[in-house]
Each structure stands twice: as C-alpha cells, then as structure tokens.
C-alpha cells in the first residue's frame, strides 16, 4: 500500500515563482527521496534526505524532513518552464532491503 501522500495533487505557478510540495508518511523511515518524472519519461532521482537530517539543498531544490510529524517538503525556487513535471516522494523503511513506497505525486505546471 502507498505510504506517502503528497499535497497538493496539482500545482500551477508562474515562471520565477517558488513551488512547494508536501509529503506525509506513516511509518518510521531510513530515508525519504524525491523523484521527478516528465510526461512519458522515466523517473529522475532528485534528492535523498536521511532520517537524521532536517534539511538538504541541491541547486534550486530544498528539502526538509520533520520525522516527528512524519512529513517532508520540497521547495523549488525560481521555477522554470522546464520544471513542469510530476514530483513523487518515496520512503524507505528502516528495515533493510525493503522497497521504496511512493506517494501519489504532485503534478507541477510552470507557466512561462
């Protein structure tokens, strides 16, 4: 069963604005990962944040993790039309060799 739940399900913003997507999960995790998927394309791994980390940056991406609330957020700053895609969070449980459980995703549209 899916563990992560993203909100919003869809987000439409103007180019240059920031986009924030949230993810909630249910069980304890080893790490949480964010992926991007352009329409009809494969998954692109964006960033991984471990359970003992609270914030991580990668270029225009900022991810936070609050394990007490079992939630994470992905912030994309200064968005571009090329950021238009679906974004998924996925969690890896603490027990070894368990697969990622994916949320339903947020569909982001950046309008030029």
Using CB under 8 A, list all residues that contact other proteins: 1-2, 30-31, 33, 42-43, 48, 88, 90, 92, 96-105
Q: Which is nearer to other proteins, 68 or 97 (CB)?
A: 97
The structure tokens listed for 64 are 């936070």
User: Least CB distance from residue 24 to other proteins, whole Å?
Assistant: 14
Q: Toward other proteins, which CB reaches closer, 47 or 77?
A: 47
* Identity of the residue, 14 or 97, whose beta carbon is nearer to other proteins in the bound complex: 97
Residue 112: burial class (beta carbons within 10 Å; 0-12, 13-18, 19+): exposed
Q: ∠ at Cα 66 (98, 78), nearest 5°?
A: 100
């Amino acid at each position: 069963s899916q563990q992560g739940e993203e909100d919003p399900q869809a987000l439409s913003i103007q180019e240059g604005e920031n986009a924030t997507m949230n993810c909630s999960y249910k069980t304890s995790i080893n790490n949480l990962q964010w992926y991007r998927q352009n329409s009809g394309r494969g998954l692109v791994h964006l960033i991984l944040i471990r359970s003992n980390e609270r914030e991580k940056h990668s270029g225009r991406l900022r991810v936070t993790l609050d394990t007490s609330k079992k939630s994470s957020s992905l912030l994309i700053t200064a968005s571009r039309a090329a950021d238009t895609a679906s974004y998924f969070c996925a969690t890896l449980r603490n027990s070894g060799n368990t697969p990622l459980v994916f949320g339903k995703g947020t569909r982001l549209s950046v309008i030029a």
